[in-house]
């Protein structure tokens, strides 16, 4: 079994219910999503669809996230990315409500894909008895600048480079080793807090940046000292598991963004557009493919390997069921249907 494109419709929020929004998105079971509103009536098919009643655990088990963790442990480059408009439930799906309220720990039932994956990873690594070296890095892309969320001090931009052997990579990014669930969860919190506080200081919302947390999994092959010289005969594997919380798409007109805010919104939209463009080109049959413009944005450069090449990607499309979000919902659905056709060769 492989991870498969997953679609999640969140419940209507209190605000939406109070102002009388209609629920226009329904799951029909068997992977079908139905959108019905005044002038729209469409059904889309997905591998896995989760509606408002679905628990965090159901999403973890039903999306193939567990398999993705195992593939990363086997040495593959694995990526899960959540996309959809602002407020559609991306952060909730990845991290649960924990990242949004201050310090009080969320109920374990509400933990998101990330914490569940960390638990799975650490359990697996213990039960396999293999000697794994685990480390994590956490970056955000804000206004087309890559920033380290784990390094102390004010956020500064890191250069994004390319090399033949490594592909695109971020120079000088911090990678912190961890051995326990507490340690990695605290790195996640620390980084998310930085993402948020840097945002708050300037009165911005957290979802104005794309955030990428990557777990590096390296197997430390055990060699008796005399065998060290033959280490190459028993190659060590290195897999990665990357979680991408994309900033939401936004219509500049509607939010009345101006000045600095519209620069932000434009760079978010530009990078999402570049991502959509790459995905639609990748979705073409291999023979008809033209050059894929990964270089169009920092986001597509960082995701190049997982999107096109040797990676395995799990997409989670998040949407709000509200009638007010209809046009964004339709565009998320089209985007997701397109991305579904992308094939890679891990």
Picked from ligand ADP, Mg ion, none, the partner binding residue 344 (CB below 5 to 8 A depending on kind) is none
Minimum CB–partner distance for residue 100 and Mg ion (Å) = 8
Dihedrals φ, ψ of 203, to 5°?
Answer: 60, 50
Is 85 marked as binding a ligand?
yes
Handedness of CA 122, 125, 129, 134 (dihedral sign): negative
From residue 319, alpha-carbon distances to 53, 283, 294, 336 in Å are: 14, 22, 26, 11
Is 64 marked as binding a ligand?
no
Minimum CB–partner distance for residue 47 and Mg ion (Å) = 24
Is 87 marked as binding a ligand?
yes
Is 90 marked as binding a ligand?
yes
Is 86 marked as binding a ligand?
yes
Minimum CB–partner distance for residue 272 and ligand ADP (Å) = 13
Are 215 and 169 within 8 A, CB to CB? Answer: no
Cβ proximity to ligand ADP, 16 vs 148, nearer residue: 16
Q: How far is CA 233 from the centre of its chain?
A: 35
Cβ proximity to ligand ADP, 5 vs 321, nearer residue: 321
Binding site for Mg ion (CB under 5 A): 90-91, 207
Picked from Mg ion, ligand ADP, none, the partner binding residue 167 (CB below 5 to 8 A depending on kind) is none
Minimum CB–partner distance for residue 331 and Mg ion (Å) = 18
Cβ proximity to Mg ion, 91 vs 313, nearer residue: 91
Structure-token pair, residue 116? 């569940």
Judged by CB under 6 A, which of 248, 276, 308, 321 binds ligand ADP? Answer: 248
Does 87 contact ligand ADP by CB under 6 A? yes
Burial readout 74-109 (b: 16 or more C-beta within 10 A, e: otherwise): ebbbbbbbbbbbbbbbbbbbbbbebbeeeeeebeee
Distance between the two ends of the chain, CA-based, in angstroms? Answer: 14
Cβ proximity to ligand ADP, 312 vs 318, nearer residue: 318
Does 88 contact ligand ADP by CB under 6 A? yes
Which string of DSSP letters, residue by residue, matches 141-198?
A: EETTEEEESSSSSS--EE-EEEETTTEEEETT---EE--SHHHHHHHHHHHHHHHHHH
Total of chain residues touching ligand ADP, rule CB under 6 A: 15
What is the x/- site pattern for ligand ADP, positions 10-29, by CB under 6 A?
xx-x----------------
DSSP state of 88: S
Cβ proximity to ligand ADP, 106 vs 176, nearer residue: 106
Does 240 contact ligand ADP by CB under 6 A? no
Picked from ligand ADP, Mg ion, none, the partner binding residue 89 (CB below 5 to 8 A depending on kind) is ligand ADP
User: 317: how many CB neighbours lie within 10 A of its CB?
Assistant: 27
Does 91 contact ligand ADP by CB under 6 A? yes
Q: How far apart are CA 51 and CA 28, in angstroms?
A: 10
Does 294 contact ligand ADP by CB under 6 A? no
Q: How many CA atoms lie within 13 A of 61 on its CB side?
A: 5
Instruction: Please report, in range form, the residues annotated as the binding site for ATP.
Output: 84-91
Instruction: Please report, in range form, the residues annotated as the binding site.
Output: 84-91
List interacting residues with ligand ADP (CB under 6 A): 10-11, 13, 84, 86-92, 97, 207, 248, 318
């Amino acid at each position: 079994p492989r991870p498969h494109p997953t679609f999640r419709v969140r419940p209507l929020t209190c605000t939406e219910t109070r102002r009388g929004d209609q629920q226009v998105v329904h799951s029909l079971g068997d992977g079908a999503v139905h959108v019905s509103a005044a002038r729209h009536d469409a059904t889309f098919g997905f591998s896995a669809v989760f509606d408002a009643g679905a628990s965090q655990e159901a999403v973890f088990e039903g999306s193939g996230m567990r398999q993705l963790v195992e593939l990363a442990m086997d040495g593959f480059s694995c990526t899960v990315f959540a996309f959809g408009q602002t407020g559609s439930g991306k952060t909730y799906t990845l991290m649960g409500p924990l990242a949004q309220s201050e310090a009080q720990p969320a109920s374990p039932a509400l933990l998101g894909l990330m914490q569940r994956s960390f638990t799975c990873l650490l359990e697996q690594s213990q039960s396999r008895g293999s000697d794994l070296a685990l480390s994590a890095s956490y970056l955000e892309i804000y206004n087309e600048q890559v920033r380290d969320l784990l390094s102390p001090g004010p956020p500064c931009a890191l250069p994004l480079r390319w090399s033949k052997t490594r592909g695109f990579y971020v120079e000088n990014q911090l990678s912190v080793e961890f051995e326990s669930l507490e340690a990695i969860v605290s790195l996640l919190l620390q980084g998310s807090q930085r993402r948020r506080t840097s945002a708050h200081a300037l009165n911005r919302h957290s979802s104005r940046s794309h955030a990428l947390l990557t777990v590096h999994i390296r197997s430390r092959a055990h060699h008796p000292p005399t065998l060290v010289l033959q280490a190459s005969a028993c190659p060590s594997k290195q897999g990665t598991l990357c979680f991408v919380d994309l900033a939401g798409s936004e219509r500049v007109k509607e939010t009345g963004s101006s000045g600095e805010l519209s620069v932000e919104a434009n760079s978010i939209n530009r990078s999402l557009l570049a991502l959509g463009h790459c995905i639609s080109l990748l979705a073409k049959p291999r023979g008809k493919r033209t050059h894929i413009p990964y270089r169009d944005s920092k986001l597509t450069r960082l995701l190049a390997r997982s999107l096109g090449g040797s990676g395995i990607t799990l997409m989670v499309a998040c949407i709000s069921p509200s009638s007010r979000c209809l046009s964004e919902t339709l565009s998320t659905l089209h985007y997701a249907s397109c991305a579904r056709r992308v094939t890679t060769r891990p």
